[in-house]
Amino acid sequence: MQKRKLLVVDDQAINRKILQNILKDTYEITLAENGLEALEILRKADVDFSAILLDLIMPVMGGLELLAIMKEDEHMSLIPVIVVSQAEQSETEHKALDLGARDFISKPFNPNVLCKRLSNLIELYESNERIDVMERDSLTGIYNKDAFCRVVRERLNQDFVKEYILVLMDIEQFKLINDTFGALEGDRLLQYIASELTISTDPVEGIVGRIGGDIFACLVPDEEDMLEKIVGAARLSLAKYSLEMKVHPKFGVFRIDDRKMPVSTMCERALLAAENIKGKYGLLFAFYDDTIRQKLLDEQQMSNEMVQALENGEFEIYLQPKYELVSERIAGAEALVRWRHPVKGLLSAADFIPFFEHNGFITELDLYVWDKTCELIASWIKRGDCYIPISVNMSRKDIYRDNLVELLMGILNKHGLKPQHLHLEITESAYTENQEQLLEIIGRLKSMGFVIEMDDFGKGYSSLNMLSELPIDILKLDMRFIQHRSRTENRRNIISFIISLAKWMNLSIVAEGVESEEQIELLRTLDCTYVQGYYFARPMPCSEFTEILFQSQLSDPVVCSEEIILGTTEAEKKKGRKVILIADGDAKDRDVLKNYLSDKYVVVEKENGREVYQYISENFDITDMMILD
């Protein structure tokens, strides 16, 4: 077994010899005759000492001076030091211990006592070092969750006078940073945050830990401006961080008024406060309060009641019409859900959908909505052969279900419908999670005949890259984008660009959230086709919508150029998808054009003028364009 290494520092050769003889059988001894020589030895990177035996009174550099230098060094300050000196203990012992010495023994000493105290000190140091490694987060070096909770508990038990707050920091959309720049860059950011939080809390003896993937916690005194200092320092340091994406921290704060509460519960409550302001621009921190506590109680009640509520039919489908803007006739609808609670009355989707998305029940609720919507469409067709498409929402959890296509087709077959009857709405934020898987799933749904709508475009993470990659049919533009009057002209230009781009890409566009005459006039001037919002109609029960539907003169449904419209003639079916005629004598040239255009058009090929003339004379009314050699 390899011997532990000791450094003996003493200016007297006889003392060095005595100590070497006592300890050489147990330890590998290195000798130094003054503090300066010892310092040079310690600065060699390839030497790790288990302990140092140090004399205080020496020429060139004394023991106290060496201790002072070691105290300021991150590595040397960790080495346990036993002071061996003839000096009076009363004064120099206090100075040595204050500078980092771990023990003090006076000359002359008992060899057995010296060996035992040295052995105990090394074992204590090494066991603490092992514990410290177990308590440290392997990536950032700060406390892990268990250690943070233990150390905070010890601090609260020791100091009953001082008031404390627990501050939790969470990074908004951290997964997007990982996906965009890679896990290594994400790790580098976490290490940077841990370092900055440690620096900002050290002056007040704060305790810092990493308690989750991108979640950090700090215990600091509840003193004036303390929270603002921590939040301000974090915001400033992250603003300087070299990343081509702005990092948005959110802080949740729990004021500790019950010291018996488990520290893990304090962290959970601070996290709830942070989550409560996610997505809210300008809000950096929030305190946990009774409002959040009541939200927890409400969520627990919903969790207890949701399954039975679904079985009891307490969830109701509401429909909000979509209108063709020129004629102001109904052209489609969106299915929404309400909860008719037996005690609380009618609850809007905002009261329960976010919680269901969090706990996973949203998948069961969506299946229910899809089924009821298809049942309603089938009843319309049976009653009067009347049909408009209804859009249904798909949560991000739905999209990544392995059996999604099978579930949807099963519901359609149950009610005798086709995929074209049901429009599927996805939110643009789904694109940020797993782009490759999303493209694969949407591609499968599109190939089955479903019409794909992108909801909330312009609200969060819109990009031209998203539009170019996703095989969508309809774009829903969120008009809340221009509700604020600041930079109105710029926002108008952006909306004009999006509408023009959608038309160029052969997409239908629906402006949602339309609430004013001013918005209507703007959309008319920008040649927007379809609108949805309170200006025309609020969401209404299915029975009310059905009566309006059968009393109304309908517009053409909200469809893309590829959708086949129900109940029309064969020629009109073709017209539902634009027909482009390619006339070229070279088969290879026709193949190139066909491969390029067939995703968006019905491609008809002819190789000479006679064939072109004959085809056009017979199909003039359904031919939209021609490419002619």
Which residues fall within 8 angstroms of residue 588, CB to CB, at 6 or more apart? Answer: none
The whole-angstrom separation of Cα 95 and Cα 56 is 11
The whole-angstrom separation of Cα 409 and Cα 449 is 11
Give start and end residues of each alpha helix (H) in 159-182.
Answer: 174-181
The whole-angstrom separation of Cα 332 and Cα 354 is 26
CATH number of 145-288: 3.30.70.270
Averaged over 75-86, what is the pLDDT? 84
Considering the chain, tell me which residue range(s) the CATH 3.40.50.2300 domain(s) occupy. Answer: 4-134, 570-628
Give start and end residues of each alpha helix (H) in 219-323.
Answer: 226-240, 263-275, 290-311
pLDDT at 574: 42
Give pLDDT tens digits for 86-143: 755 556 777 888 888 888 887 778 888 888 888 888 887 776 665 555 678 888 888 8
The whole-angstrom separation of Cα 114 and Cα 102 is 13
Which residues fall within 8 angstroms of residue 323, CB to CB, at 6 or more apart? Answer: 329, 330, 331, 530, 531, 532, 536, 555
The whole-angstrom separation of Cα 22 and Cα 24 is 6
The whole-angstrom separation of Cα 519 and Cα 177 is 35
Identify the weakest region by mean pLDDT among 63-67, 231-235, 512-516, 624-628: 624-628
CATH of 4-134, one of 1.10.287.70, 3.40.50.2300, 3.90.1150.10, 3.90.470.10: 3.40.50.2300
pLDDT at 571: 40
Q: To the nearest whole percent, how much of the chain has pLDDT over 90?
A: 31
Considering the chain, tell me which residue range(s) the CATH 3.20.20.450 domain(s) occupy. Answer: 311-551
Look at strands 329-341 and 345-347 and give their pairing.
Answer: antiparallel
Cα distances from 141 to residues 74, 145, 190, 192, in angstroms, run 14, 12, 11, 11
Residue 37, pLDDT > 90, answer: yes
Give pLDDT tens digits for 382-433: 887 677 889 999 988 888 788 888 999 999 999 999 898 889 998 766 666 6
Averaged over 207-211, what is the pLDDT? 92
Give pLDDT tens digits for 380-392: 988 876 778 899 9
CATH number of 570-628: 3.40.50.2300
* Residue whose C-alpha is closest to residue 365's, from 316, 417, 301: 316
- Cα 620 versus chain centre, distance: 53
Q: Residue 288 has what DSSP assignment?
A: -
Q: Tally helices (H) and strands (E) across the chain.
A: 23, 23
Catalytic residue among 196, 512, 562, 563: 512
Look at strands 540-541 and 315-324 and give their pairing.
Answer: antiparallel
Which has more pLDDT, 127 or 499? 499
Looking at domain 311-551, what is its CATH homologous superfamily? EAL domain (3.20.20.450)
**Cβ atoms of 392 and 370 closer than 8 Å:** yes
Angle at 279 between CA 275 and CA 284, to 5 degrees: 70
- Strand ordering across the sheet containing 4-9: 27-32, 4-9, 51-54, 81-85, 103-106
Identify the weakest region by mean pLDDT among 194-198, 356-360, 538-542, 620-624: 620-624
The whole-angstrom separation of Cα 593 and Cα 597 is 6
Which has more pLDDT, 500 or 155? 155
Instruction: Indicate the length of the chain as a whole number.
Output: 629
The neighbouring-strand residues paired with 323 are 330, 531
Which stretches of 522-584 are assigned E, i.e. beta strand?
530-532, 540-541, 579-583
pLDDT at 129: 61
| 485 — pLDDT class (breaks 50, 70, 90) | very low
Please return the burial class of 479, using the count of CB atoms within 10 Å of its CB with bins 0-12, 13-18 and 19+. buried
Averaged over 18-36, what is the pLDDT? 91
Which pTM was predicted?
A: 0.56
Task: Establish whether 163 is a catalytic residue.
Answer: no
Hunting for tokens 């951290």 — which residue is that? 174
